[in-house]
């Protein structure tokens, strides 16, 4: 089964929304998966998650683009959390929570900015895992931005819990594509759904 078909099957089983009309983009992050659809060891502090855009062409699901990303904070913000209860690790699921906006102060750039509630696990014990961590729900600035071209094996300060595309040029390609979505072109305040999936569950036999 092709990756696009596997994603659709997984999302349908979870009753997640799928945008199927021409030009509409489904933003999906798969944790512990490479952009080519192969699983990896999901090593901490690495850009080893995939940022994907899935669309439908004549009813057939297609991966329109895939990039290196991280859905998790690296060592820096795990050890120096912005919240005293621990660094944020977004809970798997689907959220309708992002609008086009500007991320950052020292190097502001176009990104998808959190405007709706999301759930995160608070990594209070700094083990870089969600297991056993308390759930926190709110507005935490969990944005979708770029990672300032940090190396693949060092997230460093590029991510504190956001969805981070490693390469800046690739991030702007991502933004161009999501802004070509007819829903955004009709309404610049359109709120984008985004889905985050654990790679091991996506590829688990059913």
How far are the Cα atoms of 44, 68, 149, 201, 203 from residue 206, in angstroms, in the given order?
28, 27, 37, 10, 9
* pLDDT for residue 206: 62
pLDDT, tens only, 73-82: 999 999 999 9
- 188: containing domain: 3-202
Assigned token pair, 194: 């985004």
* pLDDT for residue 1: 79
Q: How many domains, in total, are found in the chain?
A: 1
- Residues 194, 9, 119, 37, Cα dihedral to 10°: -70
CB proximity list for 90: less than 8 A, separation 6 or greater: 71, 118, 119, 120, 121, 142, 161, 163, 196
In our burial notation (b when 16+ CB lie closer than 10 A, e otherwise), range 43-63 reads: eebbbbbbbbbbbbeeeebeb
pLDDT, tens only, 166-185: 999 999 999 999 999 999 99
Assigned token pair, 120: 């995160």
Which pTM value belongs to this model?
Answer: 0.97
Per-residue pLDDT at 205 exceeds 80: no
* pLDDT for residue 50: 98
Query: What is the side-by-side strand order in the sheet with 135-138?
Result: 87-90, 118-123, 135-138
CA–CA dist 173, 24 (Å, integer)? 16
CB proximity list for 81: less than 8 A, separation 6 or greater: 87, 123, 160
Provide the percentage of residues in the chain whose pLDDT is more than 70.
Answer: 100
Per-residue pLDDT at 39 exceeds 70: yes
pLDDT, tens only, 45-63: 999 999 999 999 999 999 9
How high does pLDDT run on average in the chain? 97
Per-residue pLDDT at 30 exceeds 70: yes
Which helix (H) or strand (E) segment is 4 a member of? helix 3-13
């Amino acid at each position: 089964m092709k990756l696009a078909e596997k994603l659709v099957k997984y999302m349908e089983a979870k009753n997640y929304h799928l945008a199927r009309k021409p030009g509409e983009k489904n933003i999906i992050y798969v944790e512990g998966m490479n952009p080519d659809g192969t699983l990896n060891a999901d090593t901490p502090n690495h850009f080893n998650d995939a940022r994907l855009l899935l669309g439908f062409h004549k009813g057939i699901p297609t991966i329109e683009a895939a990039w290196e990303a991280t859905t998790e904070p690296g060592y820096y913000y795990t050890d120096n959390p912005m919240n005293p209860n621990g660094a944020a690790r977004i809970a798997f699921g689907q959220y309708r929570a992002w609008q086009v906006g500007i991320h950052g102060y020292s190097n502001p750039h176009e990104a998808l900015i959190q405007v709706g509630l999301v759930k995160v696990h608070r990594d209070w014990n700094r083990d870089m895992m969600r297991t056993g961590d308390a759930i926190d729900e709110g507005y935490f600035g969990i944005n979708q931005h770029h990672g300032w071209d940090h190396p693949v094996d060092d997230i460093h300060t590029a991510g504190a819990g956001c969805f981070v595309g490693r390469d800046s040029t690739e991030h702007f390609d991502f933004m161009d594509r999501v802004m070509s979505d007819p829903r955004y072109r009709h309404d610049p305040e359109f709120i984008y759904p985004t889905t985050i999936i654990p790679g091991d569950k996506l590829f688990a036999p059913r």
